[in-house]
Structure 1
């Protein structure tokens, strides 16, 4: 078959982002994009390390908390994911994805601790209020009622 024009691009992008970080170590965007790339390729430990680096430099940058929460959730570290996502929702109260991810992490915790269910419901409802077209949030709200 024909080669996809973007074949091999993630590695090249990773190398370019690494170079950007060397040139501007305090810049958040290259770290954020590298974390996103690592997360998308299931390099979860690497994504977590990048998020943690980002949070050292930019503790008030909600996207690092959001990504860290997603990574921790995927790693099965639900309690830590909930804490990171609570911080993301505090820093970005109008972010539907932050509230949705918090709801999902709380549902994960509720499997062993039902006291997380009210927070899961609140977060899912808030995500839906902020983005009424967010189908996964709607399904989660309905599933939690």
Structure 2
């Protein structure tokens, strides 16, 4: 198990995160660039090594009802991975994604390997994009949703 100091050192390598000291010696790390109300990426990291990372939009983690994953027993690599994934899940669309989406209705879908597909409603069709590449076109939202779920994706 990593110590409190080791976890702090790892977390502080993420320049996107801002440290906030809270009560009882605990520390939070905020991601001000979040497109959601949720800004805490690391929550209540304690001197005893206990703490949480926000992972509501991620798959493959045992999380509580608030979307938090306990990182007490995480290795250095596991901690880096979940923080990187959490930041990405809270980040705005890239320029390429914005170019595809334009002013159309869109959803992000994510799988257990943190791959993201974008579902866009364009001209009464539902298109699935992997980056700039068109992955599929569907006549209805339900068809597109079924395809994404069968491929192991869930709505973010």
Same fold (TM over 0.5): no
Bigger RCO (CA 8 Å, 6+ sep): 2
Larger Rg: 2
- Scaled by the length of structure 1, the TM-score of the pair is 0.27
- Scaled by the length of structure 2, the TM-score of the pair is 0.26
- Greater strand content: 2
